[in-house]
Structure 1
């Protein structure tokens, strides 16, 4: 598609003064050097989309939405890794204020982008980028990922049926970890299908005892990946760490570690490092990490191969009606805690 064929305006979901979402018309920006303009077919919803608004990381007049899947509409000078017309998926940091996914067109750096294999739908592809980046960077903070785990090493994924949890399970399984996870009983079959060796009800009063028992003589897990990081999940999950092990836990939200077990190493993950960004988020500064950026470029290519040969799959998803006009209801639904074992996605063409 040439620049003359691109629309000059597009619809986008914009935060209003009362912190609700409304569809507005904004301009379409053309790609500069090293950039790609993507026509979004499907956008996926994440908890950060509503939390960033509530926590005032995203202010009125800004957009929201991180995950997208679509077609390359235009490329800037120097772009060689993708071509116009190719199907791609990716994610953006909406709170940075440059672009978002809840719109018809998004302007992103050419790397890293995921090329979508023919056997994967746009809906499935849209569930992948942000969550799998979080899972991958989290495992890098905990272990020597992507190197294979030593024999008989256990990782506990707390919140295995969450979007990040399902990818953490798959990536840990692919690197030979024994994976124990917690989830509601209704999602036990789901997490096992995605590679968990053991599924435990996190509501059970003896959930930690069950985790430790599942590790046999080892007496606990080597690592914890807490994909919830709210309520008592951190304080509870670290009790499953074996006394003589690495005693490391990865969390997806910043913590006040002064109130936590000092014998445990706590690592907060921000997947923005995969995008090569220097970012301040939720009051914490995360500097650019060139090693994670280069890892991200290689990782996106690896993910495309895994999707193609069936070793990796996206989240189960639920399409909400109305496209961009349905986002306000979708965010409220997620905030109420009613989303479980599925990821909400929107088909942008459904926007009235």
Structure 2
């Protein structure tokens, strides 16, 4: 029987269980997973919610079956997809489920490993830039001039979300693109116009950003900031150079839960602040999810968009625990962890500590956060 991974809240164990092949709802596709990709939320969500479940959302593989209302996909198609976060039959499995509107065909020259780096990160970046920040899209842009150029600063630019934001910003003609990065500065240089090293400290970051913006004619203040980290002090740092009179900031985590001083942190009245949550493509922004999933396939096909660098974690589904722990421990740097499902083979069904030893955390600030359904 096919198998799937259940990630335990302690992130000290996963359980690999037998699961029948899912049956699609009318607007769903069932995918025989070739490669699953990991995201930081995949270890955080089970911990935050104290909920053991298959937390993977990035899928690349072959269509196995489709619901009765699906007409764009058929069995045998090579696809990538974004699974609905928190729902059953996630990507850490031999067979996974995705809505047809967040599924797209994979070009022949793109590997399953490359495709598995795209859905969550690229759609998060797209919803932040084009829904929340209302920036020009790559298909509705103009050649930047001194008069109409739009700057953007991306904190965490070598994370998968940050990197896709930079790539899309480039396609949209935004300039200058300023990226804040750390030990992956060389990769950051390929993505943006200017790189600022966060390891130099908050004061130097702020001074360097202001210097760049002054040089580019923006008076030292950033009109658009995308914070792809949104914890550990990044919220406060970006506020130091954000234009407080009309600036806009998009975060991937809610500031009222991840600011240093959660209860008192506030953006000035002149700032528009949005917590950009990709699950909206499965609820309030289905049309956006449909359009952008297909557009991502087109951008990959003609080479305008490149996948994120990746590392294959050995062991197939048995490697999921290792990958999630490496993410938790901050070992990922400009890389996405992916798992070749066919490498799973036969091994014990439980990895890590024994169930009786698991310690479930209930203290994380997102335990009660109302994530979009």
What is the TM-score when the length of structure 2 is the normalising length?
A: 0.83
The equivalent residue for 1:134 is 124
3-state DSSP class of the match of 2:59? strand
What is the alpha-carbon distance in structure 2 between the residues aligned to residue 71 and residue 34 of structure 1? 17
Residues 34 and 261 of structure 1, relative CA distance in 2, 3 Å threshold: closer
Asked whether the 8 Å contact 1:235–1:260 carries over to 2, the reply is no
The equivalent residue for 1:210 is 208
The equivalent residue for 1:13 is 5
1:254 aligns with 2:254: yes
The equivalent residue for 1:272 is 279
1:65-88 per-position Cα deviation (integer Å, ceiling 9, x unaligned): 110100001112121111111110
3-state DSSP class of the match of 1:55? helix
1:113-192 matches, cutoff 5 A: 113-139=103-129, 140-146=131-137, 147-148=140-141, 151-178=148-175, 179-184=177-182, 186-192=183-189
The equivalent residue for 1:303 is 296
What is the alpha-carbon distance in structure 1 between the residues aligned to residue 26 and residue 125 of structure 2? 30
What is the alpha-carbon distance in structure 2 between the residues aligned to residue 175 and residue 138 of structure 1? 13
The structure showing larger relative contact order (alpha-carbon pairs under 8 Å, at least 6 residues apart) is: 2
User: Following TM superposition, by how much is the alpha carbon of 1:293 offset from its aligned partner in structure 2, in angstroms?
Assistant: 1.6
3-state DSSP class of the match of 1:210? helix
1:1-352 matches, cutoff 5 A: 9-16=1-8, 20-56=13-49, 59-60=51-52, 62-95=53-86, 97-139=87-129, 140-146=131-137, 147-148=140-141, 151-178=148-175, 179-184=177-182, 186-194=183-191, 196-205=192-201, 206-215=204-213, 216=215, 217-218=217-218, 219-244=220-245, 246-256=246-256, 258-263=264-269, 264-275=271-282, 277=283, 289=284, 292-352=285-345
What is the alpha-carbon distance in structure 1 between the residues aligned to residue 7 and residue 114 of structure 2? 26
What is the alpha-carbon distance in structure 2 between the residues aligned to residue 17 and residue 333 of structure 1? 15
Residues 294 and 16 of structure 1, relative CA distance in 2, 3 Å threshold: closer
Asked whether the 8 Å contact 2:223–2:248 carries over to 1, the reply is yes
Asked whether the 8 Å contact 1:22–1:328 carries over to 2, the reply is no
What is the alpha-carbon distance in structure 2 between the residues aligned to residue 126 and residue 166 of structure 1? 15
Asked whether the 8 Å contact 1:153–1:221 carries over to 2, the reply is no
User: Following TM superposition, by how much is the alpha carbon of 1:142 offset from its aligned partner in structure 2, in angstroms?
Assistant: 1.4
What is the alpha-carbon distance in structure 2 between the residues aligned to residue 35 and residue 255 of structure 1? 34
Q: Which structure 2 residue ranges, 5 or more long, are not aligned?
A: 257-261, 346-373
1:145-191 per-position Cα deviation (integer Å, ceiling 9, x unaligned): 4243772211000000001000000111111111100111x422212
Asked whether the 8 Å contact 1:63–1:94 carries over to 2, the reply is no
3-state DSSP class of the match of 1:102? coil
What is the alpha-carbon distance in structure 2 between the residues aligned to residue 265 and residue 54 of structure 1? 30
Point out 4+ residue stretches in structure 1 off by more than 6 angstroms. Answer: none
Residues 188 and 10 of structure 1, relative CA distance in 2, 3 Å threshold: same
Name the stretch that deviates more: 212-221 or 152-161: 212-221
User: Following TM superposition, by how much is the alpha carbon of 1:241 offset from its aligned partner in structure 2, in angstroms?
Assistant: 1.9
CA RMSD of aligned residues (A): 1.8
3-state DSSP class of the match of 1:228? coil
What is the alpha-carbon distance in structure 2 between the residues aligned to residue 29 and residue 98 of structure 1? 9
What is the alpha-carbon distance in structure 2 between the residues aligned to residue 300 and residue 111 of structure 1? 7
Asked whether the 8 Å contact 2:54–2:88 carries over to 1, the reply is no
Q: Which structure 1 residue ranges, 5 or more long, are not aligned?
A: 1-8, 278-288
3-state DSSP class of the match of 1:168? helix
1:260-318 per-position Cα deviation (integer Å, ceiling 9, x unaligned): 3324322001111112x2xxxxxxxxxxx2xx321221112211111111110111000
